């Protein structure tokens, strides 16, 4: 029997039982579609997080006061609190050649008021470097000017949302707002950047770090943002930061340095693993679809014993009958898988339409793997029924009506 005749015979027998064939196709399609859609969701989550981290800035290191690791020894009963990070610490970091820019950050909360409108807002005290380190861009005006960072100039930059809340559509440039007990001149408005890892960067006011120190009456920094000179300098910069701070803090390792790349890599790993796990769970539905194909093909074999007996009497060897039934399983799983891909494609488009901010997209391997697994499941689970058909005793098969 020619291969094309085998295929057309298998195709006609599938078409002969439309309900059964339709149900098996549906099962296969749902299996493949769920694999592709779930990997698409996982991949989307990974891309989302990666994008959020990248939007923090590039080659970024974050220096936090305190050590996040346990060092052993007695519990800190005698008040082993970490030393504060100071402005001088931040400036000292610039001694390293691996460090490009340094932006100290002081954080507090204060009411921002203008002509009776008051809004309790997050206040960031920083320097001109912050715009470059965090990748901030301006909608209006300019950022904090460079200069002596110990000078407490009464200037401020407003986040986009804060500006809208207190000025509406009017331009705030050159106007004065009251932050706490002091008046600040507005010199710029940040471009809307949206959420950045939960911190709404559009609902803040940024003032010079010296002004913030005066406003909150403290000298300790919340953290220091460090930008390495380039990608290769990141690990050198991290070591330099640790060395410089240790030297300044009497030999104590009392800061934690987080590199953005390490965080990115960690999240990347977590989400890739998550995607694989979800895909694996979805692949179970493919196995279920394969078992369904096996069951239905077994029923088909027992319903079609007369036909199989006849084919044997007409001179079809066992191998030919095996090929006929395997072709049916293969065709079912392949067509079902293609339908599943169409379904998944539609689902991904719909999701992209409903959530334009969420970069949902299945990686290329997902549809390939799903179709591969679907077809192999169809073939593997098709072997048992096909072998049963091939081994059928023709006399017994023909004696049944």
Least CB distance to other proteins at residue 264 (A): 59
135 Cβ contact list (under 8 Å, min separation 6):
55, 56, 57, 58
By beta-carbon proximity to other proteins, the closer residue of 212 and 397 is: 397
Tokens encoding 21: 């064939």
The answer to whether 39 touches 366, Cβ cutoff 8 Å, is: yes
Q: What angle do CA 223, 224, 229 make, to 5 degrees?
A: 155
Least CB distance to other proteins at residue 320 (A): 7
CA dihedral of residues 239, 244, 247, 249 (deg, nearest 10): -100
User: Any idea what DSSP says for residue 356?
Assistant: T
Closest CA to 274 of 49, 52, 29: 49
298 Cβ contact list (under 8 Å, min separation 6):
384, 385, 388
Q: Which helix (H) or strand (E) holds 177?
A: strand 176-179
By beta-carbon proximity to other proteins, the closer residue of 253 and 307 is: 307
Least CB distance to other proteins at residue 315 (A): 2
Least CB distance to other proteins at residue 302 (A): 16
Tokens encoding 7: 């295929």
Least CB distance to other proteins at residue 287 (A): 30
Least CB distance to other proteins at residue 309 (A): 7
User: Any idea what DSSP says for residue 12?
Assistant: H
* Interface ranges with other proteins (CB under 8 A): 1-2, 5, 9, 12-13, 15-16, 306-307, 309-320, 394-395, 398, 401
By beta-carbon proximity to other proteins, the closer residue of 240 and 308 is: 308
Least CB distance to other proteins at residue 1 (A): 5
Phi, psi of 185 (to 5 degrees): -90, 130
By beta-carbon proximity to other proteins, the closer residue of 13 and 259 is: 13
Least CB distance to other proteins at residue 401 (A): 5
Q: Which helix (H) or strand (E) holds 187?
A: strand 182-190
User: From the DSSP assignment, how many helices (H) and strands (E) are in the chain?
Assistant: 12, 12
Q: What is the rounded distance in angstroms from the CA atom of residue 385 to the CA atom of residue 343? A: 29
The DSSP bridge partners found for residue 184 are: 177
The answer to whether 344 touches 10, Cβ cutoff 8 Å, is: no
By beta-carbon proximity to other proteins, the closer residue of 1 and 219 is: 1
By beta-carbon proximity to other proteins, the closer residue of 17 and 222 is: 17
By beta-carbon proximity to other proteins, the closer residue of 13 and 211 is: 13
By beta-carbon proximity to other proteins, the closer residue of 314 and 364 is: 314
């Amino acid at each position: 029997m020619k291969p094309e005749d085998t295929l057309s015979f298998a195709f006609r027998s599938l078409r002969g039982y439309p309900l059964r064939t339709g149900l098996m196709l549906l099962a296969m399609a749902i299996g493949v579609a769920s694999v592709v859609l779930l990997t698409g969701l996982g991949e989307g989550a990974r891309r989302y997080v990666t994008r959020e981290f990248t939007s923090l800035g590039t080659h970024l290191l974050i220096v936090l006061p305190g050590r996040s690791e346990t060092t052993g020894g007695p519990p800190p009963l005698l008040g082993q609190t970490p030393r504060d990070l100071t402005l001088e610490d931040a400036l000292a970091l610039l001694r390293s050649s691996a460090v490009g820019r340094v932006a100290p950050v002081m954080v507090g909360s204060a009411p921002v008021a203008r002509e009776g409108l008051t809004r309790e807002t997050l206040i960031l005290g920083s320097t001109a470097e912050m715009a470059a380190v965090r990748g901030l861009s301006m909608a209006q005006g300019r950022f904090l000017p460079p200069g002596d960072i110990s000078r407490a100039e009464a200037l401020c930059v407003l986040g986009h949302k804060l500006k809208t809340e207190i000025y509406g559509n009017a331009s705030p440039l050159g106007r004065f707002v009251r932050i706490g007990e002091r008046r600040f001149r507005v010199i710029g408005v940040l471009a809307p950047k949206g959420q950045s890892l939960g911190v709404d960067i559009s609902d803040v006011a940024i003032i010079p770090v010296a002004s913030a120190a005066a406003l909150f009456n403290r000298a300790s920094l919340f953290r220091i943002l460090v930008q390495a000179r380039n990608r290769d300098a990141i690990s050198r910069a991290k070591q330099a930061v640790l060395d410089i701070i240790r030297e300044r803090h009497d030999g104590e390792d009392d800061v934690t340095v987080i590199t953005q790349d390490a965080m990115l890599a960690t999240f990347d790993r977590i989400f890739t693993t998550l995607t694989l796990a979800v895909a694996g769970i979805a692949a179970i539905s493919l196995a279920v679809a394969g078992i369904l194909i096996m069951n239905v093909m077994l029923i088909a074999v027992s319903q079609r014993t007369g036909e199989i007996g006849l084919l044997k009497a007409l001179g079809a060897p066992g191998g030919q009958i095996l090929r006929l039934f395997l072709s049916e399983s293969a065709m079912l799983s392949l067509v079902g898988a293609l339908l599943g891909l169409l379904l998944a494609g539609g689902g991904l488009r719909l999701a992209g339409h409903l959530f334009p901010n969420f970069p949902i997209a299945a990686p290329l391997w997902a549809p390939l793997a799903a179709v591969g697994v679907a077809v192999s499941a169809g073939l593997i689970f098709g072997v048992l029924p096909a072998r049963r058909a091939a081994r059928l005793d023709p006399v017994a098969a023909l004696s049944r009506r």
